[in-house]
Amino acid sequence: MATRATPPPARAQAVDRSVTRLFEAFDRVPVAAVIRHAEDLPRALASQVPAVFFVRAPAFHLGPLVWAVQARGKMAFVHIDLIAGLGKDRAGVAFLAREIGVNGIITSHSGLVAAARAERVIAVQRLLLYDDHGLHSAMTAVEHARPDIVEVQPAVIFPLVADQIRARHPVPIIVGGFVTEPHQREAALKRGARAVSTSTMSLWP
C-alpha cells in the first residue's frame, strides 16, 4: 500500500522579529522551551510556550525545526555558540538570519550580538554568572553590545543580583539554568525576570 509522505514544514514568509510582541507573549506565558534533542520538540509545539530555544542541534537539521516552531506561531531562537557545524562568526549569524530565518540568536559573545543586531534579528546575550567580579565584567560586556535581551544563568542566582543588573542596564531579562521546579520559576519572575527558559517539560504549560 502506498503511503503519503508528510511534507516538511515550509519557511515562514515573514519572520516576526519584534521584541515587543515577544514580551507581550511572555506576559501571558513567561516560559521559553529549551530544546536539546529533536525528539523533545513535539511537546514544545503542543505547549503554550511562545518561544523555543534550540541548543546543541546540528546546523544541517535546523531549518525544518525552526520552521516547525514558526508554523505554530511561536518564535525560534538558536544558541549559535553551541550549534555544531556552524561558524561562530558574522557569517554564521548571517546564515541563521537569512537562510534559516530565525527570530533570534542567543550568544555569550558581544561581537555576535552586534552581528545579530546588524541582521535585524532579536539578540539575546547570555550571561554566565559565578561571582561578583564576573557580574561586573558581564555587565560591561552588555553595555558595550547593547543586546535586545539578557539571559542570566544560572537562574538561581538571579534573585541575588537582580537589582545590580537593573541598576547598570535597563534591558529586559530572562533567566535559565537549573529551573526545574515551579517555585524556582516564580522566584525569578517575582524579582523581575520577564520569563524563564527551561528544558523541564513539566514547566511548559
Is 88 within a domain?
A: yes
Read off the pTM: 0.91
The residue written with cell numbers 546540528 in the block is 58
Q: Per the domain annotation, does 160 fall within a domain? A: yes
The pLDDT value given to residue 56: 83
178 in a structural domain: yes
Classify residue 11: in a domain, yes or no.
no
Q: What is the mean pLDDT of residues 136-150?
A: 88
Per-residue confidence (pLDDT) for residue 7, from 0 to 100: 60
- Decide if pLDDT at 175 tops 80: yes
Q: What is the pLDDT of residue 73?
A: 97
DSSP summary character for residue 147: -
How much is the pLDDT for 164? 86
Domain of 67, CATH number, reads 3.20.20.70
Residue 59: inside a domain, yes or no?
A: yes
Q: Measure CA of the first residue to CA of the last residue in the chain; give whole Å.
A: 39
| Interatomic CA distance for residues 87 and 22, integer angstroms | 27
Sign of CA dihedral 88, 100, 33, 55: negative
Which neighbouring-strand residues pair with 176? 197
Q: What is the per-residue pLDDT across 1-44, written as a single tens digit (0 to 9) for each?
A: 444 455 667 777 789 999 999 999 999 999 999 999 999 999 99
Within-domain flag for 32: yes
Q: How many domains does the chain have?
A: 1
SS3 at position 120 = coil
Residue 179 lies in a domain: yes
Residue 166 counted as domain residue: yes
Domain range for 161 is 19-203
Indicate if the pLDDT at residue 59 is higher than 90: no
Q: What is the pLDDT of residue 4?
A: 47
pLDDT number for residue 2: 44
